[in-house]
Each structure stands twice: as structure tokens, then as C-alpha cells.
Structure 1
Amino acid sequence: MLRQGLAVVFLLSLFCASAPGAEALSYSRDIQPILTQKCVACHACYDAPCQLNLGGDEGILRGASKVPVYDGARTKAEATTRLFIDAQGEEAWRRKGFTSVLDPQGAQAALMARMLELGRANPPEANAKLPADLNIAIDRENQCPLPGEFDAYAKKFAHAGMPFAVTGLSDAEYATVQQWLAQGAPVDATVLQASAAEQMQVATWEKLLNAPGAREVLVGRWLFEHLFLAHLYFEGGERGHFFQLVRSRTPSGKPIDPIATRRPNDDPGSDFYYRLLPIQGVIVHKTHITYALSPQKLARVNELFFASDWTTDKVPGYGLQRRANPFETFAAIPPQARYQFMLDNAEYFVRTFIRGPVCRGQIATDVIRDNFWALFQDPAHDLYLTDAKYREAATPLLAMPGQLDDIGDVLGLWHSYRDKRNAYEDLRQDAYADAPAPSWSTLWAGNDNALLSIYRHFDSAMVRKGLIGEIPQTLWLMDYPLLERTYYQLVVNFDVFGNVSHQAQTRLYFDLIRNGAEQNFLRLMPPETRQGYLDDWYQNSGKLKVWMDYQAIDVDTPTGFKWPAGDPKRAFANALIQRYDGLNAAPDPINRCQGAHCYRNGLSPLQRSAEQALSRLPGRPAAGLKVITQLPESTLLRIELPNGKRAVYSMLRNRAHSNVAFMTGESLRYQKGLDTLTIYPGVLTSYPNFMFNIAAQDVPAFVAAMEQVRDQAAFDQVVERWGIRRSHPQFWFYFHDLSRYIEETEPVEAGVLDMNRYKNL
């Protein structure tokens, strides 16, 4: 009875608050901050449940849709539904099938109000596991009930109110949102505008990109296709201001009118201008792939693309062949300029295809191993750049699949492009057999983008400068044809709304790209060891893939490196770490401890002790460190320091596989006992799977408890003592503190993290 009485008082307070004369609430001032704190972590980007994007006024007005963006089995491509691009205004989205979550339906409250009421009526038990029958997996079927379907939904899914399966809104937040909804949910649009200083730089870059002349137009198009995904920012610009490069029907100085094409290299259908459009709404980390613009960068573009006397008298058109083979489309631009531009910013380009939209879902990421290092071939040793005759022979073979999505001919299309790729590998192998043997000069070392670490977290992945973690099982060596093909296949040409044929062709060709990068690296190893490494990378069923789809490796041509007998790959990796110590952005004493001191320099004694203790966990396989089998892919450790500050570490589970050569059946290739951990300072994921909060003086006890875990019950005790479950009363404080940490340590990279993958431990 007391609870019912409190509910009546609460509802009366809402009625009074929304009565005539009550102060009107502001969406931008009062509501969006609440949505940013409690909703955006799930409702943002393409993978927002029911496509309900709550990162800004445009998304909340658009509403929800039953049609999922990520669907690897659809037979027909879906219509694109990109905010700010594919429709403008609420009515336009209604015509595309989106339903309002703000409008009352007759006597029924708005859908958002009812979802919040359902969540509040069935809160999770504080810091307890969620019910086992509550499906929180990202591949669950979202119900997306229409207003008339809500009663049946609430009856069947009583624990699926909002916020979903997590600690809910505070009393004050709930009252504020419900009052706003009762007032008719007015939305005052807020538009981010460039500052005066930014406008000057915008004008400079738009002038470059829209310069007249065939040569200038071709370069502008190439730059657009390579920067369209970036969150561009100006060095010295306003903090939190980012821009997107778009094609507009209107020139500089006029309001931007974006042209909506499925891909950035599709025919725009009319005259257009490249424009820098301010990015609106809340920045979320998973899509926040940053790229700096500056006077120095502008000078570099002019140096690379316009300093030489190359010419062209025509600009290629658009179409299937132009998409399939950018090497032909942009052949007039010196390849040295194209490759060097990508090398200068290699981390950005690798991020686009590792963190970009192609990497949502296991079927996209299971083509890569859980951790590996990426290196790049020096332009002076890249025959595609230095040998015109070789380039002429190779270019027709570099076309990529996925432009046709005929389901009935998937295998035929795939075999055609596979055979072209293998013919290219055969040509490349012969050409490099006659070239000077590879040596240290083969590897590009121009800046700190030269050494990259990639970590896969089952259905997502990340990139970081430097060599992180133990020496990985595989390394990639990418030359210009590989880097450009990877970027076009997985970013420019990939259609997240495409059908199963398009997605399958993309995934299958990425498998060949990985194999090509591995083969490039094997040239650095002694010929007699190459087959052994390849056999280790393609165990069991992988041997069938090697026989069926891959070009045979070169086991004869010598290398210029001299390695000791035993394990030349490890010798190379150790030499790489030492040789490029000044270039390596990531010294890593926790995972690669050399001697007694397994911690970074410059730390307090207490934090040194914490890192020393943490260093006991990496480097041990799951067969000997049983707790690894209990851990998800990406766990964050928040270490509380006595001065009121905290340190944050990522604890990444590296799953081992006999091979990563097939689209399906990953569990059949999983080698559970060989899993390992990497522990590294910072937030190395956009999708935390779990979090521990540990006082610095307790870290040795935490590590000891982890070492003693043998079963689920023992791990549950660790979680009970230090874990932050979805139902923790202070969940949102701890979760958003990870974003605050990024803002403090890497402010340009800061954004709201995603909690769709946060586990029920």
C-alpha cells in the first residue's frame, strides 16, 4: 500500500508539473543531457535498437523502425536510413516507415513514456546478475513494438523496459523526462556552427577540394573518397567541433544540401561541391574516427599531389568498373602521392576498416586473428610505385568484388575475383623474386603510424599506434595495393544496407587480403621456415583453404635478413621493438617484461606495485590461468588511487584459433586452452564487456584471486567483490568515467562508449 501511495503522489506531482503555468522544459537543456547519460550508450549509430538514435534532436524526432540495419541474411538490399542524409525532417522519416516515440496515441501515453514506465516498474536487483532468461545479446531480435502493440509487449517482456537491462533513471531524471513528455515533448533544434576561425579554414579546404581543372577535380574526388568517413577537426579549432566531408548541390557560402548516394563513389547525378558539414549531436566513440586538418596538412596535400608535373585531360565517370578498380579510376594521379598520403595517416586508414561499419558482427571480424601487428612497405621498395611496366600489368588484376549482388551467382562472382587476385599474387611473386632481397629498408618508418597493433574483440575490433602485447602469432606487411584494396573493399565500397551476396563477397575477399598481408611478411623470413609458419597459421581445415583459394607462397627466394636458428619471427619482432624504440608509441613492460621491473616509468610507488602485480596475468595460456575462460573479450580495470584520481587499464582476452579462413563455424576452430590476456593502460575498446573497480592497494589481492579461480563459483566471488554489474547502483558513474578518462588523456578521441555488449557476469 505504501508503494501504491507513493506512486499516486508521484503521478500527482507530474500532473501539477505539466499543468498550465508550469515552467516549460527545454529539450536541449533538460532532456538531451539525460539521454546522453542513460540512453546514448545503446541508442546511437546503425546498431541502435530499432534504429532509435537518441544522440540529438534529429534522431529522437525520426523515431523507431522495425527494420534492422545489420542483417547478414537479407536477400535484397535495404533502403538506406542515414540521419541527416537520406531524409530531412520528421514527415520525411514517417514516409520511410519510422514511428514516433514522442506522440501520444489517443488515450495512450507516448511510446517513450510507456517504455520508461515499464523499466521503472521492473528494476533490476541492485548489483545482482540479471535473470538468466533475459536475452541481452546484440544479435537478439528487437521487438520494436508499435503503440498499439505495447500492451502485449509489456506482458511478454516485463523486464525489457528502458533503460534496457541496466540501472535506470534517477527519480529526478525520470520526473523530468515524463514532465517533458506530458508537455507534448517539444524539441528545440540545436545546430552546431563553425566558429569564425574554423570558417576560414573550412573555406580554404573547400577551395582546394573544388578547384577547377581536370587534375584538381580528380585529386578532389580521391581525397573525398578517402576522407568521407572521418570526423575532421581543425588543429586550434573549438573543442568538440568535428566536420564531415560531403557532396552538396550548393557551393561554398551557401547552406549545405547533401546528395544522398548509397556509396561515396556512386554517381551524384548532378553538379556538386565538396563541403565540410558540422557533425551534429552526441559524439560516440565507436564511430569517432578522427582526422586533423591544419595548414601543415594542407601544404602536405599540395606537395604530394601538385608539386610534380603530372597531367590529365579528363576525369573518369562513375559506375561499376570505377568502383571495382580504383587503381584504374585514379591511375593518372601518381601512385607515390596516393600511397604516401595513406602512410602519413596509416592509423586513420586502418581504423576505418577495423572500427568502421563493416566490423559490426562476427561474420565480418572472424577473418582476422584476435591480436596482430601491422607494418607497411616503404614506397621506395614498392614495385607498384617504382616499376611502371609492373604497375600496368598488375592494375587490371586488382579489381574487387561486391559491385553486383546477384544471389544466384555468388560463387561465380567470387571465383572470378579470386582468380584475378591469385593471378596478381603470382605476378607479384615473380616480380619481387627479381627485386633486391627485403631488409630493414623495406619497412616504412616515416612516423609513429608505421607500427600498429590490432585487437579483435569477437564482433568488434580496435587499432592502436605502437607494438602492444606479446609477440603475436601473425604479422601483416601491407604495400600500397593491399592497403588501398582493403580500404575500398571494406569502407568505400561496403554497403552496410546491402544484401547477403554483397556482404559475403566482401567478407570472402577480405580473407584474401589477410592472406596477402601474411604472405608479404613471410618474405622477411628465411625461405626454409615460411611453410612452417604458414602451416601454423592455417591448421586443420585451414589447409583446405590454402589448397583451394590461396596462391602458393614463395619458399625459394632468399631474404636479406640474417636471423639466428630457432624462431626467426620472434627474433624479427624483438629486433623491431629495439630498432624502432624511438618510433614505437607503445612501450609495454606489463606484457613484455624484461627483468624484474614490469611497470612503466614515472609512476607513484603504489601504481608501480599495481602494474607489477598485473604483469603476472599476461603471457599465460588459459590452460594454466583458468580465469581467462571466465572473462569476456574486453574488460576494463578502474584502479582507484589514494589522491582521488584513478588509472584505467584494458584487459583483453585473445582467443586462439586453428585458423581464421572461413565465414562460419568459428567455434569449431577455437583453441580455448591457448587463449591469453593483454593488459595495457587506457581504454582499448569502444564496447566494454565488463568492468572491475579496484583500490590500488588491493590490486595484488585482485590478481591473486584471479590466479586462484578454477570455476564459475570462484569467479563469481571476484565479481561480487570488485565487479560493476549492469545493475550496480552507480553503474552509470563508473561506465561514463571511462569516457571521462579518455577525455582527460586523449581529448580529441573522447566519445560516449557503447554498452550493448556489456555482459551479465
Structure 2
Amino acid sequence: MLLRLLASACALLLSAQVLAQAPLSSPTISYTRDIQPIFTEKCVACHACNDAACQLNLGSAEGAERGASKVPVYQGDRTAAVATTRLFYDARDVVGWRKDGFYSVLDQQGSQAALMARMLELGHSTPLVPNAKLPEEIVLGLNRNNMCPLPHEFDAYAGAHPKEGMPLAVTGLTDQQYRTLQRWLAAGAPVEKVAIQPNASEMQQIGEWEELLNRPGSTEALVARWLYEHLFLAHIYFVGGEPGHYFQWVRSRTPSGQPVDLIATRRPNDPPGTDFYYRLVPVQGVIVHKTHISYPMGPQKLKRVKQLFYSGDWHASALPGYGPRHRANPFETFEAIPAVARYQFMLDNAEYFVRTFIRGPVCRGQIATDVIRDNFWALFQEPAHDRYITDAAYRGEATPLLAMPGQIDDVGSVLSLWHAYRDKRNQYESLRRDAYAELPPPSWSTLWAGNDNALLSIFRHFDSASVNKGLIGDVPLTIWLFDYPLLERTYYQLAVNFDVYGNVSHQLQTRLYFDLIRNGAEVNFLRLMPASQRGHILSDWYQNSGKVKMWMDYEDIDTDTPSGLKLDKHDPKRDFGLQLLQRTASLNAAPDPINRCQGAYCSRPQMSEEFRDAEQSLSRLVSRPAAGLKVIGQLPEASMLRIEGKDGQRQVYSLLRNRAHSNVAFLLGEAYRYQPGLDTLTLYPGVLSSYPNFMFNVPAGEVAEFVESLEAARDDKASFERIVTRWGIRRSHPEFWRYFHDLNTYIQETDPREAGVLDMNRYENL
């Protein structure tokens, strides 16, 4: 106890010395000018979204003032849902957050410095050994049990975790940043809040959109509700808008022209409890990549929405209510709106919708991601060939079967609820199979090809995933084909209806139903394969225990009716993928000569000779099973590769590990279904993950040696350690933050609307 008191006294003395060194005439510190930039550079990478440590969100003044909480958002075994704690939504001020159990990290505690000041001092007084591996006792990643000490518990925390000050286990603050923060905290941590204000063009367009969604009448109100439920996650940007300005749809008690009085329901389709208006509000705080799902709006989009929903002779005679039944079945809730309008709206920006439930703003997604393969392509059914769109009688039969679980969270009823919804889904699959068997054989015209959203690539990185336009990588093991009922159900189940604050029953029902969704997307694709090959392909996807799952939970597939495609009989799935690449070349946003090398040249032709040579060497790593490239077993899920040219230019690549599984059909025991010898790598230009697991920085002239070293390392840990030491950017690297933030700089240069601070919670200690 005496040692702890001495340590605390020394810490306070050091802080006092730091403050004493500051000039007496130093200017007033501004939160906006001086403090938030430090938080953005050194703190936001861990302190943002739902998985921010101790719920301390440092992306805004409001988050810093709110402080921390001991209650975790992610707690998969809780039997009761917890209160929502969404910044800017669930409390209006600091007083409200204190009532919800948040405690200050900024306030001085009597004679003691603020909790943040002591955490920063602990980190600053124990610097890391430059570019060395961190001590094993520092637990990192999602397995870390965050302590979240209260101010009076800090001494005990520091005594037990002397190397775990802030920023945690990473190259810390510069001396100047440290002095600035400590002076600010000692001065009482004053903040000024500067809200984002729309410019004139944005104001005009906001007015036009709010006018459209708030028109009187049942028909108009039904369309507005459907649009709101499909855009509530969007970070909307406008034609003519300011760079970095994004907006979100909310429900407000007040109409346009008045300050927004936000209605903070748990879900966007929960009862509002009062009269309300749809409003667009600026997204406040630092934009972080993992929650940033951008969506364009402008005059053309407004015209498109009016064309899809406000033309024709359809009318809604009455408005549906809210509640579990209407949440469970949006097909019934919105059946008055023409199905073709709903589906086409989703197709127009399909990447956005798939990102909401694959990449998502949930920020910790293994409940969903462990049911999908590590890489696959997603395609969409042409509306004219979607029977739910074209056949009213079929639609009437199908709609009652499309309800989704998760609305009733009684733990004791989870299995009976699951069985009921599984049986309904299988009745629907049987209905669909028989109905489509009556149609002409599916062909290339079955696939929607309306714009570059028609081809998507999904990569899973264990507990997160990414979605990108175009066909990236080699032809994958599985391909998903969404029709309207499948796309809408996936969106509602995993985005609209999913409650990250829900209990184990809700989350279990969501996960189990997503397994059926994946299976449905695979079965849709199988109809494009030769009838005689479908069973064989399905068995390859569901090996070993997967066959038990097929018997228990899945409906039988169609192995009789023919396909209209002419495919190689020995490997029809790969032949389909190769033909798809040729047929959709004009739509494919991701030409990929590195992973799909044709002939002698495996690089992008538009690159300089230096980078073409680098890509040529790197191509030796891709599309090779780990049985022949043993080092794959030591690589993280998503490594970022930074290649530096002689003239100061650089290129950034994502080196993604694609883990192979015998099947992905079960909730537990995933490690038992790994097939590590079949793992492969995909290398693609750009940043294809919100959560980099590691970075390598390699001079272009050393790329060939880097590749040779990886090939030679095999499963030798010492050899891999030498690679990491020479080219790796460990958390302790003196230039860690420069390299880390350069990834976002690269996004800003190549695709500025997608830029945002990346997350380092999953950055590994290699």
C-alpha cells in the first residue's frame, strides 16, 4: 500500500513539474484547435463506436464530457437487454449521462488530478521499447477485459497494470501533446462545442428531401417510413456539399425549420410515441471508417425516388402500426408499395445495403461473420426475373412465410421460436423451388447488371468484414445470389431489427436465422449450375458436420430442372466465374491482374515500372494454398502492405488471409472446422478493412526479397520474426502513428468519400 501511495505521489509531482515548465503567458488552450486533433491522432483509433474501451468515445467534445462506463455494450451471455447508450441520441447532456452511470474522466477529484490525466501520466512514464514486441502480460484485442477503473480505483489499477497507461500498448503522445493535454486537464478541461453547419447548397437539398418525406397522406407516409428505415444508417452526402459533411435521417418531434427534438427509439421501426417528422441532421464528431457507410443524395437521386415511389396509380389505404409483428415482416408491413420500386431502390445502391449488414456500424460482428465464408462474391437477380416482383399470386403466398425472428427475446422460448421461423423459412424455400422450376431455365439475363453495384466482393476478417464493388480475387468457393426477398430479409434481420444492446435470446435468434439466409443465397446461385452438379457443389460447401446441418435445418435443393448456361462440366462453378468476369468487364469496378494473372504480366499496366515490378513479385503470394505457402498460417487476417518508391511515392495494398472451413453452418466450434492447408492470400490495392491487424512497410527495391523471405519462412516462427523485425510496423514503432494514419490518407487520395479514422483494436502484437 505504501509503495502505491509513493507511486501516486510521484505521478502527481511529475504532472506538477510538467505544468510548472509551461510558460505563464501561454495562450488559452482551445478544445477544437488543440485537444480534439490530439484525440483524433492518438485516441480515436481505440475510442470510437460501441466497442470503445469503457464506452469512452473521444471523437467529439460530447463524448469526452460524457466519460466512461463500466457496463460493456458487448456481453453475449446477458439474459436481459441493457439500456441503449448511443452518443448524441440517448441523453441530451452530461447530467443525463451521469444518471445513466457514466462517470467523468476529465474532472479533478479533490486533490487528485483527473482520471484521464493519471492514465496519460502512467502511459507517458512507461514508454515502450522501440519496435519491440510487447510484453505478453498486456492483453490486447477483443479478448481484453477492460478494467474501467473509477477515479478512486486508479491506484489499484496502476499497481496491478503498471505498463497499461494510455494510449494503451502503442507509441504514445509526443512530449508536446502530453504537456498540452495535462495543461488542459489541470485547467478544468474546458470544451467548446462547434457543431457542423450545412452550407447553402446542403440546406436547400435538405429542405427538398424533408419536404418529400413529410408530405401528408397515407401513401406518402408509408413511402417515407420505408425510406427512413432503409437510410437511417447512411452517412448522406449531397451534390455540391462540403467535403467531410455528412448527414443522418432521424425522427423528430419538431418540423423543418425548428431545432430537432430527436426521438431516440431502440430501433428505427419502434413506435415513435408521438407525432413526428423526418429530419436530416449533421453527423457530428470525427468520421471513423468502421461506422462510415456513405450514401449519395442529389437532384438525380431525388428524381429517381419520385419516379420509383411517387408515380403510378398505387395507393395506401391505411398506415400499418408498429410493434413486433410489423418488425418481423416488412413485406407485409409495406406490401402496398410496389415490390419492384422497393427492390430497384435497393439495387441502385446495393453496396450500401450490403455494407450495412456485412461491414456495419455494430463494430464487433462475429455473431454474424462466423456464418459466412472468408471471401465470396455477391450478385443480384434481375427484377424482371424475380418471381416475387412479377407474380402477384406467388407474392401473396410467399409474404406470410418471410417473417423473421428476434422480436421476442424470452430466453426460455428461444428454441421454440427458432424452430417456428426455421419451418416457415423452409416452407418458403420449398414454394420458391417449385415456382422457379416452372420458369424458363435461368441464364445470364437472370443477373441484374444495372450499374457497378451489381458485382460485390466480401472479405471476412474473423470478427469483421468488408464489402467492395467489383469482383476481387480469384474465383471464390461460394457465390451468393440475392433476390428481393433475400436482400430485404438480410437487411432487416441484421440492420433494422438487430439490437446490439439486446439479450442472448435476441442475438442467438439473429445468428441462427442468418445461417438460413446464407444458405438461401447459395441455393439461389446453385440454380445457375448444371442440375447434375448441384448436389456435388453443395456437399463441398457443407462437408463433414455440415451434412448433418443440411439434414436438420435446410430444405432440399432443385436437382432436376436445367440451367440455361453452358458451363464446363468438370468445373462449372469456376467456369461460371471466369465467364462472369468476361461478360461484366464494363461493370467490374475492380479489374484484378494481381490475383487473376493472365500470361506473364501480373501487375496494373497504369503503374510506373517500379511499382509494376513490385506487384509482379507480390503476385507470387496470391491464390496459393497454405500447404505450399506455409507462412500464411502466421499472417493475420488483414495486413496492410505499404510499398515505398524511390521518389517518395507509395502504394498501399491489403494482404488478406482467406481461412478455409469444411463448413460455416454452426454457431460454435469454428476452430474445429478450419482447413488451414487450404488457406490462401488475396492482395489488392487499397485498404480493404476498417481494422488493420498489422502493417508492413517495404521499399519497392526490397519487395522481391520480402516475398522470397515469406516463401522461405514456411512455418518457422524465428524466420517470420525476422521478417516482422525488418519490415513490420509494430505497435511500439517510433513512427507507428504516421504509418497508421497514412492508410486513411491513402483512402482520402483515392476514394475521399470513404475516408475515416481506422480502428486499431485488432492490431496484433507480432
TM interval, short-chain normalised: over 0.9
Partner of 1:528: 532
Q: Which amino acid aligns with 2:505?
A: S
Which amino acid is 1:188 matched to? Answer: E
- For the pair 1:446 / 2:450, whether they are aligned, the reply is yes
Structure 1 runs of 4+ with >6 Å offset: 4-10
Q: Which residue of 1 aligns with 2:20?
A: 15
- Give the partner amino acid of 2:507: Q
Structural mapping, 1:701-716, within 5 Å: 701-710=705-714, 711-716=716-721
Aligned residues of 1:18 and 1:183 also touching (Cα < 8 A): no
Within 5 Å, give how 1:232-251 maps onto structure 2.
Answer: 232-251=236-255
Q: Distance in 1 between matches of 2:762 and 2:217?
A: 49
| Deviation at residue 564 of structure 1 after TM alignment | 2.4
> Who is 1:266 aligned against?
270
CA distance in 1 between counterparts of 2:628 and 2:713 reads: 11
- Between the aligned partners of 1:206 and 1:282, the Cα distance in structure 2 is 25
Question: How far off is 1:697 after superposition?
Answer: 1.1
CA distance in 1, matches of 2:568, 2:665: 31
Quick one: which of 739, 742, 758 aligns to 1:753?
758
Equivalent of residue 207 in structure 1, options 211, 219, 244 = 211
Given that 2:49 and 2:361 are in contact with CA atoms closer than 8 Å, whether structure 1 keeps it comes out as no
Structural mapping, 1:581-620, within 5 Å: 581-620=585-624
Deviations 1:658-702 (A, max 9, x none): 000011110010111110000000000000000000111111111
Structure 2: distance between partners of 1:514 and 1:93 = 39
Counterpart of 2:68, as a letter, is: A
8 Å contact 1:64–1:99 — kept in the other structure? yes
Structure 1 window deviating more from structure 2 (174-183 vs 21-30): it is 21-30
**More displaced, 43-52 or 642-651?**
642-651
Query: How far 1:203 sits from its partner (Å)?
Result: 0.2
CA distance in 2, matches of 1:706, 1:107: 55
Q: Does 1:699 align with 2:703?
A: yes
Residue 687 of structure 2 is aligned with which of 683, 689, 697? 683
Matched, 1:171 2:182: no
Q: Aligned to 2:697, what secondary structure does the other structure show? A: strand
CA separation of 1:464 and 1:9: change in aligned 2, threshold 3 A: closer
Name 1:300's counterpart in structure 2: 304
Does 1:129 pair with 2:133?
yes
Q: What CA distance in whole angstroms lies between the structure 1 residues aligned with 2:370 and 2:486?
A: 19
Structure 2 unpaired stretches of 5+:
1-8
Q: Cα deviation per residue 1:470-508 (whole Å; 9 max; x = unaligned)?
A: 110000000000000000000000000000000000000
User: Is 1:181 matched with 2:172?
Assistant: no
Partner of 1:78: 82
**Corresponding residue for residue 281 of structure 1:** 285
Q: How many corresponding residue pairs? A: 757
* Pick aligned residue for 2:97 from 93, 98, 121: 93
Q: What residue in structure 2 maps to residue 192 of structure 1?
A: 196
Q: Deviations over 1:143-186 (max 9, x none)?
A: 00001111000001111110001000000000000000111100
Gaps spanning 5+ residues in structure 1: where? none
When residues 358 and 486 of structure 1 are mapped into structure 2, their CA distance, relative to the original with a 3 A threshold, is: farther
Following superposition, the deviation at residue 579 of structure 1 comes to 0.6
Give the equivalent residue in structure 1 for 2:736.
Answer: 731
Instruction: Please tell me the residue identity of whatever aligns with 2:746.
Output: Y
Contact 2:376–2:476, Cα closer than 8 Å, also in 1: yes
C-alpha separation in 1, matches of 2:501 and 2:367 = 15
Partners of 1:359 and 1:429 in 2: how far apart? 36
Whole-angstrom distance in 1 between the partners of 2:201 and 2:586 = 35
CA contact (8 A) 1:610 1:699 kept: yes
Shift of 1:139: 2.6
Q: What whole-Å deviation, never above 9, does each CA across 1:434-481 have from its counterpart, x for those lacking one?
A: 011100110000000000000000000000000000110000000000
1:432 aligns with 2:452: no
TM, length-normalised to structure 1: 0.98
SS of residue matched to 2:620: coil
Equivalent residue, structure 2, for 1:646: 650
Give me the TM-score of the superposition, normalised by structure 2: 0.98
Contact 1:285 1:686 in 2 (8 A): yes
Q: CA deviation at 1:18?
A: 8.4
The more displaced of 412-421 and 637-646 is: 637-646
Are 1:554 and 2:563 matched, yes or no?
no
Letter in 2 for 1:623: A
What amino acid does structure 2 have at the position aligned with 1:736? H
Query: CA shift at 1:138, angstroms?
Result: 1.3
Deviation by residue 1:259-314 (Cα, 9 ceiling, x = unmatched): 01000000000000000010111000000000000100000000011121111221
Q: Distance in 2 between matches of 1:571 and 1:596?
A: 21
Rounded Cα–Cα distance in structure 2 between residues aligned with 1:267 and 1:643 = 59
Indicate the SS of the match to 1:616. helix
Q: Does structure 1 retain, via aligned residues, the 8 Å contact 2:50–2:363?
A: no
Q: Tell me what 1:407 maps to.
A: 411
Matched-pair contact (CA < 8 Å) for 1:18–1:179: no
RMSD: 1.4
1:321 maps to: 325
Q: State whether residues 376 and 450 of structure 1, in contact with CA within 8 Å, keep that contact through their aligned partners in structure 2.
A: yes
Q: Secondary structure at the match of 1:563?
A: coil
Alignment check: 8 A CA contact 2:473 2:592 kept? yes
How many angstroms does 1:107 deviate by? 1.2
The residue identity in structure 1 corresponding to 2:737 is W
Q: In the alignment, is the contact (CA less than 8 A) between 2:15 and 2:182 conserved in 1?
A: no
Provide the secondary structure at the position in 1 that maps to 2:226.
helix
DSSP-derived class of the 1:113 partner: helix
What is residue 151 of structure 2 aligned with on the other side? Answer: 147
Within the alignment, does 1:455 sit opposite 2:448 as a pair? no
Structure 2 CA distance for aligned equivalents of residues 719 and 359 of structure 1: 28
- Over the matched positions of the two proteins, sequence identity in percent amounts to 69
SS across alignment from 1:609: helix
Contact 1:359/1:461, CA 8 A, preserved across alignment: no
**Whole-angstrom distance in 1 between the partners of 2:363 and 2:492:** 14
Instruction: Identify the residue that residue 161 of structure 1 maps to in structure 2.
Output: 165
